Every structure is written in structure tokens, then in C-alpha cells.
Amino acid sequence: MNGDNIKPFFLWKHLNKLRWLSLISIFTVLIYLPYAHLYQTYESAHAYDLLADSEKFIYDTMETITSPFIDDPIEDLDAIKGNTWSGTFFGFKLSDPLAVISQIFSGMTIYTAFLLTAALPVLLTFVFGRFFCGWICPATFLYELNTNLAAGLRRAGLKTGNRRFDRRAKYLVLTIGLILSAISGSVLAANIYPPAIIGREIYYAIALGGFGTGAVFFVATLMFDLLVARRGFCRYLCPGGALYSILGRFRLVRIQRVVENCNDCAKCNAICEFGLDPLRDDFGQECNNCSACIAICPTDALTFKIRMTDSHFQGPGHLGRQYSKAAR
């Protein structure tokens, strides 16, 4: 056997589980943060006895959760604030590159302190590509659950949408969005960018008592994904995904096909959330290194490699050729 010495590192197969853990924990943190803020406001009001029963419950729960780690909730819980659009993490501010770009266009000035908050995400994108979309984005968590729901509906005999459009549409959305931000003088991307919407809307729902219009928009994108195109918003419309794709075009860490191990079963193509074509070595700039294809590959034919460009189509998998030889 030729392929035995090029087995990929065994942990790559389990990376997808780690990714789900990451998505779930980030979503949990987004739900935890508004409650932490409520706890802070109750604490700084010094009026535990005046709280309603539901508020007392929040206070007690948050006290139980946080008391092992902090002394003074009013000051110490300020360490983590915000959401995945823009947040503060132990005094270190992080922002989405899309926020920075839109802000530059809407204000027509470059504000250095804000520019630097996107430095780390941009650097990570240069190395790992569009990894934000697969590993961090809180909308991805819901969108992937939505994809699973669609699969369940199909199994139950209902029809779900699986149309395909031109993937370049999202670059058009990004361009038009930036031009409109410049014309209107405000950051419009925040209104249609799901990670920004989700962070805000969870806060509104928990701390301010109700969802806003953003939640309606997000449900509309969920419906679009379910009824028109699988994962359609991320694939065809998301401006942030477009920006990350451009930044991650020459990423260093890439998923590549090991042609010696491949048996052309095309499970990778079926599982790929972004509709890419791993089977024909067509990953392109839009692969988000989510490693779902590695996890599902039955013959360990996909692995991470460090290189600047994708390999060209390497031909049909060698394992498939061996099968056909054996059949003959």
C-alpha cells in the first residue's frame, strides 16, 4: 500500500468536535454577559431587598457562578464586555475587521486606536483564513443547527431549498455596503451582519426586555437558508464573510486532499457548509478551515498543510483506482 505512510495527524479528525465546543462556548458567553451586566447593575444599586423575585434569582445565580473567581463584581466583571462584533477582553479590545473597514468608509478618516483593535483578527485571518466563520461566529452556531434541521426535515419527507447562486455576490454586497456607508455616513454593515446582530439582540432580549428589528432580519436569513439555499446567507450574501475571504486568500494553513488516500466518495462535498469542492481540490479563498470534511472523510484523505496556494486538481483518488483494479 502506498498510502500508509501519509496518514494525517490523528487529532485533525477530532478537530470538528473542538470547533463545536468553541461555537457553543462562545454562544454561552454571549448569553452569560447580559446576565453578568444585570448582576452588576443590581449590585451597584445596593438594593437586594427591593428586587423582584425573578431579579433575585438572577442575582443569586450570578453570584454563585462568579463568586469563586472575583471579589468585586462591579469592577471585576468589567473584564469581559461586548460581543464578537467588538469586545473587551481583560482590557484588550478586539474588533471585527468589517467594523473597522466600514467605520473608515463612513467617517472617511482612519482612527488608529480603533484600527489596532482589528490587528489580531486580521493576523489570524492571514494564517488561518476565514476561520472566524467556522470557529467563532455566533451566527454560524445557529446556521449549522439550521442546516441539521433542514437535513431532518428532508428525512421526514419535506422539501428544503438547495439552490446555488454565484458566490461572488457577497463581494458585491460588501462593495455596495461600503459605498452606502460612505454616502450615509454611518456604519450600515452592523445592521445586516449576523454576528453583530446576534450579540446585540441577545443583550436587548435579556437586559432591555425585548428583541429589536435585527432579530427579525436574522430569522429572515434563517428562513432563506432553510427554504432557498443551504447556508445561503453565509455563502452568497455575508459582507463579513467576503472580507474574511479576501483577507484569507493567501492563508498559510490549508485543508488539502491527499490523493493517494482518496476514494472519490464525495462525502466532503456533501458535508461542506460553504458548497466548496474538496473532491476536485477546489477549496479557494472561501474555505473556513472548519474541518468538517476531515472529520467525515472515511479514508483519511484530507489533512492540514502549510502552503500559500491550493494544489491543482490532482486527478481521481488513487484508492478508487485500486478498487476498480480489484473489481476487474
Partner 1 sequence: MKRRTALKFIGFGAAVALRPEMSIAATSSPVLRFLRPPGALTENEFLQRCIHCGQCGEACPNRCINFFDLENGIASSDTPYIIPREKACILCMKCGEVCPTGAIQKVAATMADIISKVHMGRAVVDRQLCLSWQGKTCGVCYRACKLPDVAIRVGMLEQPHVLDHCVGCGLCERSCIQIPQAIRIVPDVSA
Q: Which residues form the interface with partner 1 (CB under 8 A)?
A: 33-34, 37-38, 40-41, 44, 74, 78, 81-83, 85-88, 93, 95, 99, 102-103, 106-109, 111, 113-114, 117, 182-188, 190-191, 196, 199-200, 203-204, 207-208, 212-214
Cβ of residue 21: shortest distance to partner 1, in angstroms?
Answer: 25
Decide whether 103 or 160 has the Cβ nearer to partner 1. Answer: 103
CB of 27 to partner 1, least distance (A): 17
Minimum CB distance to partner 1, residue 253 (Å): 28
Helices 97-107, 239-247: axis angle to 10 degrees equals 110
Give the whole-angstrom CA distance, residue 133 versus residue 289.
9
Q: How far apart are CA 142 and CA 280, in angstroms?
A: 29
C-alpha span between 305 and 230 (Å, rounded): 28
Backbone CA torsion sign across 286, 287, 290, 292: positive
Q: Whole-angstrom Cα distance, residue 266 to residue 314?
A: 15
Query: Which residues make Cβ contacts (< 8 Å) with residue 191, sequence separation at least 6?
Result: 197, 214, 217
Instruction: State which residue, 79 or 124, has the beta carbon closest to partner 1.
Output: 79
Q: Which is nearer to partner 1, 35 or 165 (CB)?
A: 35
Which one, 119 or 153, has the nearer CB to partner 1?
119
* Contact indicator for 100, 118 with CB cutoff of 8 Å: yes
Nearer to partner 1, 237 or 287 (CB): 237
**Cell 489580531 identifies what position?**
120
Least distance in angstroms from the C-beta of 217 to partner 1: 10
Cβ closest to partner 1, residue 58 vs residue 302: 58
Residue type at 294 in one-letter notation: I
What is the sign of the dihedral through the CA atoms of 301, 137, 252 and 9?
negative
CB-nearer residue toward partner 1: 40 or 291: 40
Please state the closest distance from residue 229 (CB atom) to partner 1, in A.
25
Q: Is the Cβ of residue 190 or residue 292 nearer to partner 1 in the bound state?
A: 190
Distances (CA, A) of 259 to 219, 280, 302, 311: 41, 10, 9, 11
CB of 198 to partner 1, least distance (A): 11
Query: Measured between alpha carbons, how far is 59 from 163 in angstroms, rounded to an integer?
Result: 48
CB of 276 to partner 1, least distance (A): 30
Report, in Å, the least distance between residue 125 CB and partner 1: 18
Q: How far apart are CA 293 and CA 265, in angstroms?
A: 12
Instruction: Please answer whether residues 200 and 214 qualify as being in contact, where contact means their C-beta atoms are separated by less than 8 angstroms.
Output: yes
